[in-house]
Structure 1
């Protein structure tokens, strides 16, 4: 990165850093620790969202905010590998892969039904379904590299996916506590059903380390499905008589390489290449990176844009959100229902 690029991202990064430190300080207050244990990650999102709505954010801040939300988040997600070992992944194993496969397949079949029922056009259902099933707004953009939908359809899809994923981030932990959902079931449910990687982390990090582990593995497995999903969309275009738009280069560009970094760090952690003391310190650093990127997520949330989404897109996103939440919970109970304690 050249000096000019570094200079352009510094203002936004500094703002995100201030919000992340503020969130960590607030999370350590006795009143919050004792009565409202929301954690630094969730507080960073709330602070970022409030800042965006009530304080004017200059255009000079935008490059750094986007950098934090995209690059720093990926680094933070990869760093979660320091908290996992092969033994943890084995606990999810084939059942986790089966859960994600059934969830994603079911989502696309439901999107096809919505497409016919609601007359949503040819692209909108697939954009929202991809964002819902894979990894939120970034998956919508990746799907559009194949579909080449109208700009407003992409904007509607991103806003819809962001809105309902945010609902899940706050609603799922509440349901888990009120319903006494067992930790592995909750981790599987959150990891298989919540839209964005960041939202999954926000919904599980403060609930239970085990829930975070389960959810992280399942969510990153969903993210890894992005490449075959893009190929599926290309095949769909061909079957519908449309021109093949994407190519191998564009698919490679959209491959979630941070998943590879996550896997590499799991290997490092599993074979004990670094000392336990250093591992703990790296986990603390990773938590701060995640808080910084969560602050950026909040700063990227324009409530006005989200609320101005078209009615059809909003309804499609709502029904897909309901389907994924219920289908994901049902699959999680069936596949992980033998597991132990409640939250």
Structure 2
């Protein structure tokens, strides 16, 4: 009976996270609270299961990417997309090194800032062999900044009298997760929402080359490169859903399941971090995330309004 009881809080929390009412940030917080209260059974090997589920989730998300639409947007603003993605990664690498931040944690935060928040972190993490604590710190940092952006970006946009297209482009570049991009843009206007959603979709395609590049960058001392094979399946999912569009209803179902699976992943990752671990890591991850985000936000806004 005692054995069953000690699994009860974890099991109930897991069931709650399966419902559509729990978002990714909330799931991460629930897992974090369980870990901090000592309610996560120590005999559960969550790390191994989480990594596999992360890979499956990313593949499933590929069914929600419309390649032709994303490619069209990419071709319209290819220069800006490339400059902001690679610029963010390069600046992030240098700033993380200057601050003395853990290399993997800094790179995960940079990837989330450069592409699409939690999804990019989930895709890049296996490629660089990041552990649950590093993933958790990166996700927590990104989600905090997402919550802030959701409210302050529309205020800044109205204060600067940005037109709908400019605001939508800025939101897609400077806000991490797609959900927060959609939320901020929808509050600004219909054209801003369309622009932001489509451009963010195009940026999501860059998960593929960034994950492959990351595997090369973080190869072991033996010079062996660990290829993240799930990225190839992610590409296959995008291609298949685009070439055989008549099964759109099924693709949407897979996409929805993948999004829910990603929420479960974040819950499990949250179970691997606690107050003690956050204290030991110090304020560096959050300071790094804020610094990088502020830099990218201001420079991209300046480019869009002054160019």
Query: TM-score, normalization: structure 1?
Result: 0.62
How many residues end up aligned between the 2 structures? Answer: 272
CA distance in 2, matches of 1:12, 1:247: 44
CA distance in 2, matches of 1:71, 1:12: 23
Asked whether the 8 Å contact 1:129–1:320 carries over to 2, the reply is yes
Task: Give the drift of 1:227.
Answer: 4.6
Which residue in the other structure is 1:168 paired with? Answer: 145
CA distance in 2, matches of 1:15, 1:67: 21
CA distance in 2, matches of 1:21, 1:156: 23
SS at match of 1:300: coil
Asked whether the 8 Å contact 2:60–2:258 carries over to 1, the reply is yes
Q: 1:323 to 1:177 in 2, by over 3 A?
A: same
CA distance in 2, matches of 1:66, 1:50: 17
Which residue in the other structure is 2:18 paired with? Answer: 21
Of 65, 75, 85 in structure 1, the residue corresponding to residue 56 of structure 2 is 75
Which residue in the other structure is 2:241 paired with? Answer: 269
CA distance in 1, matches of 2:67, 2:121: 27
Please list, as runs of the form range in 1=range in 2, the aligned pairs for 1:200-211 lying within 5 A after superposition: 200=177, 203=180
Task: Give the drift of 1:164.
Answer: 2.6
Q: 1:54 to 1:214 in 2, by over 3 A?
A: farther
Task: Give the drift of 1:305.
Answer: 0.7
Q: 1:105 to 1:162 in 2, by over 3 A?
A: same
Task: Give the drift of 1:14.
Answer: 5.6
Task: Give the drift of 1:56.
Answer: 1.6
Unpaired runs of 5+ residues, structure 1, are 1-9, 28-38, 146-153, 192-199, 235-243, 339-343
Unpaired runs of 5+ residues, structure 2, are 1-6, 112-119, 158-165, 187-192
Matched, 1:49 2:43: no
Matched, 1:133 2:117: no
- 1:256-280 C-alpha deviation (Å, 9 max, x unpaired): 3332222221112222344222223
Which residue in the other structure is 1:31 paired with? Answer: none
CA distance in 2, matches of 1:140, 1:85: 24
Over the aligned positions, Cα root-mean-square deviation in angstroms equals 4.1
Task: Give the drift of 1:79.
Answer: 1.4
Please list, as runs of the form range in 1=range in 2, the aligned pairs for 1:198-237 lying within 5 A after superposition: 200=177, 203=180, 214-215=199-200, 218=203, 221=206, 224-229=209-214, 231=216
Matched, 1:92 2:86: no
Asked whether the 8 Å contact 1:137–1:161 carries over to 2, the reply is no
Task: Give the drift of 1:100.
Answer: 0.9
